[in-house]
Structure 1
Amino acid sequence: MSLYVRQSGSTTAPTIVFLHGSGVSGWMWNEQIKVLQNDYQCLAIDLPGSGESYQTEWISLADTADQIAAIIRQSTANGKAHVVGLSLGGYTGLCLLEKYPTVVESLIVSGVSTRPFANLRRWQITLGIMQRLMKWDVFINMQAKMLHIPAEAADLYKRDNKRMSNESFNRMFNEVLRFGLPNFKDEQTIPLLAVAGDSENAMIKEGLKDFINHKQNTTAALVPNAHHGWNGEHPQLFTAMVEAWINGKPLPADLVLVKAI
């Protein structure tokens, strides 16, 4: 089955592709799309195993990048798109940039680690427990509160978590736990913005310097008073950041730029 795509805006306008995090789907970008669809074609893609694409099993980041590249080529006027990815969507965006640099005009990633997680076995045990708990309403509601899921999206969040298969969950997170930055070559000149909320995991925040040191034409920034899913926490700031970045304008002053070592 093909991936589900929510299309908004003019098909002849510049395109922004939105890639969501785990446990959610394209609806997480509603606040951004509501504004940006006036000037851009917005494509919110439900990744394999998620949302309306739940019947398409998650295989790998590389397989998902293959499918997204095909969507961009088929759905845009010039065969290219600005790509915005948060969490799982950020990892997917980086894989897309590595495999298919010709379809990426610019890339924004948020909440992404740059190195494999330490204590891998401990993380696998934790995720195994979470996998079982994520089918229970009480735990889902706790997670929604912790991740600052808007109240109006609570039912969608619950639906998306219950729909995801155990196989997709395991493949998805085992790959993320082992993720390391790709060896960028042809992608060096494509603009990349890496951001993280200042209340995120320390490993994610520390990894911002890795982006700058690893790839040319890269900017990194911390977002004050923000958690992992900060596009819902601070929707206006996130939207302003996206619009500034893809137009080559200064980023919002609220963002704290990170310098290379």
Structure 2
Amino acid sequence: MEAHVAELWSTQEGPPDGPVMLLLHGAGVGAWMWRDQVAVLRERYRVIAPDLPGHDHSAGVPFTSSAELVEDLARLVRAHARGREVAVVGFSYGAQLALALATSHPDLVRHVVAVSALTAAMPLEAASRALVRAAAPLGRQRWFARLQARSMFVPDDLVDDYLRTVRALPTRDLVAVLAANAAFRAPQTWSAYPGRALLLAGDREVKPLVRGLRALQEQLPGAELEIVPGAGHGLPLERPTWFTTRLLAFLDPTTR
């Protein structure tokens, strides 16, 4: 099933009366990155996977700000939850949105899972954005897109989805999203979040990202933190079976 709520294209799968799970992709990919997870999660959960502004089927929706996007996502979830339990799972930029959504709407989000969320400053941020802007036309070339896809652990059978996404993604939106990603810091109310939290990253991630997640766990001692040996920036795509199993174990500890 497909729908347009709050202007964003999204899919909804699974039992309409089941607990709600919102899956938020990272910059430069799309809802398709959750394919392997949705195939399992939809057996129990009402899974909602939107394409974020500028991305894939939402390419015509301009990116304004993370704050406005969080409110759009809150409306999207409330339209489906109707008082039912909600879990929000995000990767990279989507993980930042998940943290912001959980802390700004703690009455709505019972579980939050943040995968590879950057919450600390990175060196040479301005130079990196300039490089992205300059390299954007290359991203529309199949050979270059395949190299990028490989670095992001996109499997071969999803490369066409990746290529479709990067070809449709306006450069201005990509640069704006990356700027928002770089500017994100841990929400001030994080330490008071009343729900359950799981923080994940690979140990091959950049050091500021891992340090930031450790700081989040210190601020909210009840949060679970796992740094996965040998993994890079892309756990849901790099280790899809492990990731889905870990997610389900967090949501239902009795399955461990």
TM-score by length of 2: 0.92
**Residues 56 and 80 (structure 1), Cα distance of their counterparts in 2 relative to 1, 3 Å cut:** farther
**Residues 225 and 186 (structure 1), Cα distance of their counterparts in 2 relative to 1, 3 Å cut:** closer
Three-state SS of the structure 2 residue aligned to 1:207 is: helix
Aligned twin of 1:233: 238
1:14 has 2:19 as partner: yes
1:132 has 2:137 as partner: yes
Three-state SS of the structure 2 residue aligned to 1:144 is: helix
Q: Deviations over 1:116-153 (max 9, x none)?
A: 22333322233223333322222111001111111111
Percent of matched pairs sharing the same residue: 25
Aligned twin of 1:174: 179
Using the TM superposition, give the Cα deviation of residue 230 of structure 1 relative to its aligned residue in structure 2, in angstroms: 1.8
Q: Deviations over 1:24-73 (max 9, x none)?
A: 11111110111111111111111111121111011111111111100111
Aligned twin of 1:83: 88
Q: Which moved more, 1:140-149 or 1:114-123?
A: 114-123
**Residues 250 and 127 (structure 1), Cα distance of their counterparts in 2 relative to 1, 3 Å cut:** farther
Q: Deviations over 1:168-193 (max 9, x none)?
A: 11210111112111101684222111
In structure 1, C-alpha distance between the alignment counterparts of 2:233 and 2:183, rounded to whole Å: 19
Q: Which moved more, 1:240-249 or 1:140-149?
A: 240-249
Q: Which moved more, 1:212-221 or 1:102-111?
A: 212-221
Aligned twin of 1:2: 7
Structure 2 residue identity aligned to 1:138: W
Which of 54, 57, 72 does residue 52 from structure 1 map onto? 57
Structure 2 residue identity aligned to 1:90: A
Structure 1 residue identity aligned to 2:182: L
Verify the 8 A CA contact 2:20 2:84 in the aligned structure 1.
no
Corresponding pairs, count: 251
1:204 has 2:213 as partner: no
In structure 2, C-alpha distance between the alignment counterparts of 1:68 and 1:79, rounded to whole Å: 16
In structure 2, C-alpha distance between the alignment counterparts of 1:49 and 1:237, rounded to whole Å: 30
Q: Which moved more, 1:109-118 or 1:16-25?
A: 109-118
Aligned twin of 1:258: none
In structure 1, C-alpha distance between the alignment counterparts of 2:165 and 2:102, rounded to whole Å: 27
Q: Which moved more, 1:158-167 or 1:132-141?
A: 132-141
Aligned twin of 2:224: 219
In structure 2, C-alpha distance between the alignment counterparts of 1:79 and 1:68, rounded to whole Å: 16
Matches of residues 80-159 of structure 1 in structure 2 within 5 Å? 80-159=85-164
Verify the 8 A CA contact 2:106 2:194 in the aligned structure 1.
no
Task: Note the residue ranges of structure 1 that are not aligned, 5 or more in a row.
Answer: 252-261
In structure 2, C-alpha distance between the alignment counterparts of 1:211 and 1:132, rounded to whole Å: 36
Aligned twin of 1:257: none
**Residues 75 and 10 (structure 1), Cα distance of their counterparts in 2 relative to 1, 3 Å cut:** same
**Residues 250 and 220 (structure 1), Cα distance of their counterparts in 2 relative to 1, 3 Å cut:** farther
Q: Which moved more, 1:225-234 or 1:87-96?
A: 225-234
**Residues 201 and 125 (structure 1), Cα distance of their counterparts in 2 relative to 1, 3 Å cut:** same
In structure 2, C-alpha distance between the alignment counterparts of 1:249 and 1:210, rounded to whole Å: 28
Aligned twin of 1:194: 199
Which of 27, 35, 42 does residue 30 from structure 1 map onto? 35
In structure 2, C-alpha distance between the alignment counterparts of 1:55 and 1:64, rounded to whole Å: 15
- What RMSD in Å do the two structures reach over aligned CA positions? 1.8
Verify the 8 A CA contact 1:101 1:186 in the aligned structure 2.
no
Structure 1 residue identity aligned to 2:65: S
Which of 37, 45, 64 does residue 40 from structure 1 map onto? 45
Structure 2 residue identity aligned to 1:219: E
TM-score by length of 1: 0.90
Q: Which moved more, 1:180-189 or 1:95-104?
A: 180-189
